[in-house]
Amino acid sequence: MGAGIFIIAILGCGEAEAPCEQVRTLESRYESQAACTAATDDALLRSGDVDYPVVVAQCVAAGSKPEDLAPAQFELPAPGRFDAPNSPVRS
């Protein structure tokens, strides 16, 4: 995606094949997708209250819906391990 305004959508995912559900949209706005993506790790760390086994942060253009995602699309960290700087997924 090129220039525009981007926001971070927080999605909660189960462990089955059901699609992830958008649970919130963060207020911050970013002028590029790269700036938005750089902020996703912090957004995940602040979203620990989401009651799903897997939580994902996705940058979307303002006014757009997040892409449909399913848990099978992610390489999940080992049980009990979360490496925030290297993973877009929080479990």
Percentage above 70 pLDDT, the chain: 73
Is residue 81 domain-resident?
no
Residues 50 and 12 sit within 8 Å (Cβ to Cβ): yes
Is residue 13 domain-resident?
yes
Per DSSP, the three-state class of 86 is helix
Domains of the chain: total = 1
Q: What's the pLDDT band for 43 if we cut at 50, 70, 90?
A: very high
Is residue 88 domain-resident?
no
For the whole model, what pTM was predicted? 0.72
Residues 6+ apart with CB under 8 A from 90: 44, 45, 47, 48, 54, 55, 56, 82, 84
Is residue 1 domain-resident?
no
- Which residue segment(s) compose the domain that 58 sits in? 6-75
